[in-house]
Structure 1
Amino acid sequence: MDSTAFSIFSFKGKMKVLHLSWMAFFITFVVWFNFAPLLSMVKETLGLTTEEIKTLLILNVALTIPARVVIGMLTDKYGPRLVYSALLAVCSIPCFMFALSDSFLQAAIARFLLGFIGAGFVIGIRLVSEWFPHDQLGTAEGIYGGWGNFGSAAAAFTLPTLALVFGGEDGWRYAVAITGAMSLVFSAIFYFNVEDTPKGATYFKPKHLTAMEVTSKGDFFFLLIMKIPMYGALALLGWKLSPAGIGMLSDFTVTCIYLSLVALYAYEISQVWKVNKNIFAEPVPEVHQYKFKQVAVLNILYFATFGSELAVVSMLPLFFSETFELTPVMAGMVASAYAFMNLMSRPGGGWLSDKFGRKSTLLILTAGLAVGYFLMGQVGSHWPLWLAVAAAMACSFFVQAGEGAVFATVPLIKRRMTGQIAGMTGAYGNVGAVVYLTVLSFVDYSTFFYVIAGTAVLGFATLILMEEPNGQIAEVNDDGSVTMIDVSH
């Protein structure tokens, strides 16, 4: 832990680690979202149908749900420096594949594999928590999340211009390839300039890599229940690709996907049992206990915050275009106001958490989120455009500040499992996106916004059960001694 002053303009010690971390996250988001801004060019060059384009958008997020869980576990085991560098290097390969693709199948495989780079976020959460004390952690995690998240907006602004600069029908290929090259080069920069912990600090690792540890019998069953929505979201994606959805996959293939998910869940139950069966024989000493309900509440809140952000960013240009009869370019610029809020809102949510407490900040922001989406549900063509944009930006503030406040709390639950907890919470954000976008395919825009407002109210209700992180958490060193880590003043 580096307890020196927090100086945003410094590039030494913990501040250097923070800046390199958000840059790595920024690049993962540029690569992950390098398709949407170039969509019409890709569609024309490869001769794709609208249905095939929609399929590519679905495939782009499909793998991110399991990837965030897997990457969280690998981060806890092997350390953020190695895992982030490897992810940036390996994911440049499907990025180059997409740039070179000349058929729908090749593009589909590349976009599916690129879903893995969306898991990069989880790695930095653990890395930043190793370097910053609890009273600076929310602000640091907020800057990491907010500035990194801005990569999606940066891709939207720069890649179409880049494609035009290169010109011709292959301009988009060069633009996509440049993002892959950025990822590859930065993987080396990151590896040679970052350490997992400050000098002399211990990097605590979980005892097991295969499943999350829990510390009570009730939490054992609670964990298994909270795993179900993640499999449900993947099943929902399978259904969307079935003949009942967009018809990309046959009924037989989709049935195989469903059976595979059931088999995977059964395997996961066996791994959770293997890791935690000792709690049924003897209780865990109180000093080492943590409450899984803390994780569950954060999962639900991230479902409503980041899940709604991903869904709303996808549909907002179309919403403004249809509601106010704007040109696609104008609608895209107006909708980008929502993403722009990330630069300040997410760090703001983390800072508020540091100053006024984790739970009280989350309660206020979740209430604002519910009101914000209820307001968005009221927006119609009779509204002045500036007022609709103001409503979207106000709503966006609560969404992204809420994300910052969620991840200001995640590292304070159990240090050695921060990657696993961040992975599960992050995956719930993607589950939320899948659920909300599926709802959108059945209902009108205002109902869609009301549904998100309703889940925010549900999040507020579960938040009442959360306990403010308090005192210290205990971690065991390799020699058996115990280190106490402060999580509150």
Structure 2
Amino acid sequence: MTRTFTSAKATRLNLKDFTSVPMRTFWITSVAFFLCFFAWFGIVPFMPDVVRDLGLSPNQKWNSVILAVAGTVFARLLIGKLCDKYGPRLCYTWLLLLGSIPVILCGLVQTPLQFLICRLFIGFIGASFVITQVHTSLMFASNIVGTANATSAGWGNLGGGANRLGMPLIAAAVIGMGVAEADAWRYSLIIAGIICFLMGIVYYFFTQDTPEGNFSELRAAGKKVKAGKKDEVGFMEALKDYRVWILFVVYAACFGIELTVYGTMDDYLQNTFSLDRITAGNIVLSFALMNLFARTLGGYFGDKFGKLKGLRGRVLFLVAILALEGVMLVTFSAITSLIVGIVFLVAFSLSVQMAEGATFSVVPFINKKAIGSISGIVGSGGNVGAFLAALLLKSKAAVAEQAAINANAGAAEEVVKLAQAEAAATAVSSGYFLIGILVFLAGVLALAIRFSTADEKSAAEDLSYDLPEQLVPSNA
């Protein structure tokens, strides 16, 4: 049966609309992104159980954190091109279907090596960010696409923290069904993988590539749905543009650090403040909940400063919020009071997520011929940042933990664990301090982003075109 599509790009983000193609896609892609991040970091609340069950050394534990973000770097660089060729609908479908496999297998592992391999391949579902941005961009007009992108990205990122509450709840449910507590983490991962698989089926049947139809149908009708040679030229221009690589570093300093905090904060809170796993997970969840509005807020203020001061205004806001992020992390790293620590953790959360939104309020104006390519490069910067930050923390924490274990060899198990926790807390604290300094310097580096007079003029013209008709002054 021939399908007919008559919908057009949405010009407003109507969250109460679940029926139009753009808004249905917005909701489904946001949920899919949420589930990908939920599964990606789903093992984090159970790491103490995994360490005990599989006998992971401190070195292996930190390698798992690094591998979880390493694979995503390459996946994000590749997935943008695949979206251009096959469309976001098929790409997301296959990402969810195939990405569910290592999540499920992670619940079946029996050796540290098997666990590390699964962690590497689970990281590929982090490329869901790029597909979400591409699909949302295809569904919304330029006057609202920034807000739509930031909102879907923020709500998807929420999954990385929501698992702190969701995974223990799943574990509690399976324990209530008679599963041994020691195996609850395995069943929880298997269930998370099955949910991702089912979401892949939903994505295939209930979304389409564009408001007008799927790429295959549009191509069959003789319509062009992929940028051709001009996009390739734009990609080469993007690689040569110093501003792209500054934004690469900037996104490494915000999204990359958020990923690192997602992966390490549970243990840090438990080790530093002697919290139990559930309490630490709930605090991290409050950090993640900021994604409900913080990233959108960053894009919103980026737009506001853009209206006041042009493209330079967008850059200046990015510089300010990134510098604030660095200051908050440095301050948090030195705090030993739980209440004060939570206050600064929330402040850090707000600033880091606003910096992410502010980054992508600048990206579309670097080179309009290569917005997709630039988004892919900048987006991969986030995972490079996470990889390097995790590597830094591992170099400090794994060595410190092993030294504490060796120094207390022969002592009671409880004494060894306490010494190991104290060593890890001190090492990660110093790591957070150093990372905060580097984030602040990345903010200073962003000052070097410049736009020509022609770019400023073009942006001002686009702004007037994107305003609703009733808000554009008449010449009469």
Instruction: Classify the TM-score, shorter chain.
Output: 0.7 to 0.9
- Does residue 1:373 correspond to 2:322, yes or no? no
Hey, what does 1:188 align to over in structure 2? 201
Which has the larger displacement, 74-83 or 335-344?
A: 335-344
Counterparts of residues 239-258 of structure 1 (less than 5 Å): none
Q: Does the C-alpha gap of structure 1 residues 59 and 372 become closer, same or farther in structure 2, counting only changes over 3 Å?
A: closer
- Are 2:163 and 1:147 aligned? no
Length, aligned pairs only: 406
Equivalent position SS for 1:97: helix
Q: Which range moves more in the overlay, 108-117 or 2-11?
A: 2-11
Hey, what's the Cα distance between the residues in 2 that align with 1:450 and 1:395? 13
In 2, are the aligned partners of 1:125 and 1:419 still within 8 Å (CA)?
no
Q: Match for 1:457 among 444, 457, 476?
A: 444
How far off its partner does 1:67 sit?
0.8
Correspondence for 1:15: 23
Q: Secondary structure at the match of 2:293?
A: helix
Shift of 1:362: 4.4
State the partner residue of 2:117. Answer: 109
Q: How does 1:39-118 map to 2 (within 5 A)?
A: 39-118=47-126
Distance 1:343 1:38, change over 3 A: same
1:297–1:466 Cα contact (<8 Å) kept: no
The secondary structure found in structure 2 opposite 1:105 is helix
Unaligned stretches of 5+ in structure 2? 1-7, 397-426, 468-476
- The corresponding residue for 1:342 is 291
- In structure 2, relative to structure 1, the CA distance for the partners of 1:339 and 1:405 (3 Å cut) is same
Q: Which runs of 5+ in 1 are unaligned?
A: 225-291, 473-483
> In 2, distance between residues paired with 1:466 and 1:127?
30
Q: What pairs up with 1:216-231 in 2 under 5 angstroms?
A: 223=239
AA paired with 1:295?
V
1:176 matched residue in structure 2: 189
Q: 1:470 touches 1:487 (CA, 8 Å); kept in 2?
A: no
How far 1:339 sits from its partner (Å)? 1.9
Amino acid at match of 2:239: L
Alpha-carbon distance in structure 2 between the residues aligned to 1:154 and 1:352: 26
Amino acid across the alignment from 1:142: A
What is the distance in 2 between the residues matched to 1:451 and 1:424?
A: 20
Q: Which structure's residues are more often helix, by fraction? A: 2
The 3 A distance-change label for structure 1 pair 485 and 369 is closer
In the alignment, the residues of structure 1 paired with residue 452 and residue 137 of structure 2 have an alpha-carbon distance, to the nearest angstrom, of: 21
| 188 and 110 in structure 1: CA distance in 2 versus 1, 3 angstrom threshold | same
**Cα drift, residue 128 of structure 1:** 0.7
Deviations 1:172-211 (A, max 9, x none): 12111111111111111111111211127966423369xx
Looking at structure 2, the residues matched to 370 and 180 of structure 1 have their Cα atoms a distance apart, in angstroms, of 38
Q: CA deviation at 1:101?
A: 1.6
> Quick one: which of 252, 256, 264 aligns to 1:303?
252
Does the aligned pair in 2 maintain the 1:24–1:148 contact within 8 Å?
yes
Residues 422/381 of structure 1: CA separation in 2 closer, same or farther (3 Å cut): closer
Relative to structure 1, the CA distance from residue 429 to residue 359 in structure 2 (aligned partners, 3 Å threshold; closer, same or farther) is: farther
Q: Secondary structure at the match of 2:42?
A: coil
SS at match of 1:341: helix
Distance in 2 of aligned mates of 1:311 and 1:68: 17
Report what 1:229 is aligned to: none
Return the alpha-carbon distance in structure 2 between the equivalents of residues 338 and 486 of structure 1: 37
Give per-residue Cα distances to partners, 1:252-275, cap 9 Å, x unaligned.
xxxxxxxxxxxxxxxxxxxxxxxx
C-alpha contact 1:372 1:391 (8 A) present in aligned 2: no
Question: Does residue 403 of structure 1 match 2:403?
Answer: no
Q: 1:195 to 1:170 in 2, by over 3 A?
A: same
Task: Give the 3 Å change call, closer, same or farther, for CA 106–215 of structure 1 in structure 2.
Answer: closer
CA-CA distance at 1:456 after TM superposition: 2.3
Match of 1:213 among 232, 236, 239: 232
- Aligned AA for 1:371? L
TM-score, normalised to structure 2, is 0.76
C-alpha contact (below 8 Å) 2:335/2:341 kept by paired residues: no
Cα pair 2:316 2:447 within 8 Å, conserved: no
Q: Which residue matches 1:6? A: 13
Aligned mates of 2:210, 2:269 — CA distance in 1: 46
CA distance in 1, matches of 2:259, 2:129: 14
Aligned equivalents of 2:329, 2:40: Cα separation in 1: 27
1:349-364 alignment, distance < 5 Å:
349-357=298-306, 359-364=312-317
What one-letter code is carried by the residue in structure 2 that aligns with 1:6? L
Match of 1:132 in 2: 140
SS in 1 for 2:143: helix
| Preserved CA contact (<8 Å) 2:30 2:155 | yes
Give the deviation of 1:410 after TM superposition. 3.9
Change (3 A) 1:76 1:106: same
Of the three residues 209, 212, 234, the one matched with 1:199 is 212
